[in-house]
Amino acid sequence: MGGSAFKDKFTGIPVNRRMESKQDFLDTFNAQVDLLGHLFSMRLPHQINSKTSFGDIDIIIPTGSLEAIYEVLNENQITYLTNGIVVSYLTHDKVQIDLINIDPSKIEYAVKYFSYGDHGNILGRILKHELNVKNSFNGLYYIYRNERFKRDILLSMDYDDVFKLLSLDKEPFYEGFETEYDLFNWIATSPLITEDIFKLENLTNKDRTRDRKRKFYNQWVQYLTTEDYKKINKNKHPEFDLYSYPHLAVKYNEYEKEFKNIKSLYNKFNGSIVMELTNLAGKNLGNFIANFKKKYSDEYLNSSSEESIKQMVLKEYENFKIKS
């Protein structure tokens, strides 16, 4: 993804060629269907209508066919590499193809997420910053965080819910965008956007490093400084709370309870407490705690008093010394 998976080993310059027309793009895609289409369905994300230059082709496919893919590519002497969920290869005329392996139940969502360049990432940044919601190719998730306790709760597998949460009219998305500027004007109607969300200095180091390299993302950031953006009429601010999604409220309350149990247990049993009682440290401390937790479940420890756990630790420590 991005068209730079294959580089000259001396110069570091990508060796793939760009497709400079829609016809070239479609002909190349159809050739991949001829090559691999007997194995699975192959889906293209939607493109900006006026786009005529393409660095690669992203194709969404269902998971479960890696070995069959490798076999076909090897039989045809095609160079490939795998990075996470993506299998990238160079066609014989040097076009980079990226096969994005997606759970079959999530393909419809993923096709929309990967459509229109980096729009899914941009919408995701807004949702995360303003509503604590994550938009990814795997679905729409509420981010539950409490100190170091982290869980993602599935909100929806319907991409229309992204538009709903952002107060975006869904029709333009399905009708298509003539230019990137049209896409930007549409995104800008969300009342949740603030320019600070996208400033590189406000991002994590990982996101900052990644986004500096993304042409689409940088064009969006530049757009936010234009007079056209300032003139955009914002849609009505959306209403969102946990109880808009009944299953979310249930899971949220479950995780609240789980966190409280973990916190309660930590206050009664942790490495510092064991170290103080036994004088163990390093590898011995780790082994002792691992063996202790094999014998006593978290549920049992949570139901025990602090003094009872202390006596358990001392008892097991005596056995530990004998075995050591």
What confidence score (pLDDT) does residue 10 get? 74
Name 96's bridge partners: 56, 90
Nearest to 5 by CA among 68, 55, 43, 54: 55
Q: Whole-model pTM? A: 0.82
Q: What mean pLDDT value characterizes the chain?
A: 91
Residues of the chain within CATH 3.30.460.10 domain(s) are: 22-102
What would the mean pLDDT of 273-299 be, rounded to a whole number? Answer: 93
Name residue, tokens 């082709």: 57
Tell me the mean pLDDT in the region 17-31: 96
Q: What does the pLDDT look like over 261-285, one tens digit per residue? A: 999 999 999 999 999 999 999 999 9
Segment 32-41 shows an average pLDDT of 96
pLDDT computed for residue 114 by the predictor: 97
**Helix 215-223 / helix 180-187 crossing angle, nearest 10 deg:** 60
Query: For position 220, what pLDDT does the model report?
Result: 93
Using one digit for the tens of pLDDT, what is the confidence trace for 184-242? 999 999 999 987 888 777 667 776 666 667 889 889 999 999 999 988 888 888 777 66
- Name 47's Cβ contacts closer than 8 Å, sequence gap at least 6: 115, 116
pLDDT at position 246 is 82
Q: Quick one: CA dihedral 54, 55, 59, 65, positive or negative?
A: positive
Distance CA 263, CA 261 (A): 5
Mean pLDDT is lowest, of 36-45, 174-183, 234-243, for 234-243
Q: What architecture is domain 22-102?
A: 2-Layer Sandwich (3.30)
- Burial class from Cβ neighbours inside 10 Å (0-12, 13-18, 19+) for residue 214 reads middle
- With a CB cutoff of 8 Å and minimum separation 6, the contacts of 130 are 192, 197
pLDDT reported for residue 245: 81
SS3 79: coil
Confidence at residue 11, expressed as pLDDT on a 0 to 100 scale: 75
Cα–Cα distance measured from residue 242 to residue 127, given in angstroms and rounded to the nearest whole number: 14
Residue 69 has pLDDT above 70, yes or no: yes
Give how far the C-alpha of residue 27 lies from the chain's centroid of Cα atoms, to the nearest Å.
31
- β-bridge mates for residue 142, sequence order: 133, 153
pLDDT the model gives residue 3: 65
- 6: pLDDT confidence band, cut at 50, 70 and 90? confident
What's the pLDDT score for residue 30? 97
* Amino acid 201: pLDDT: 74
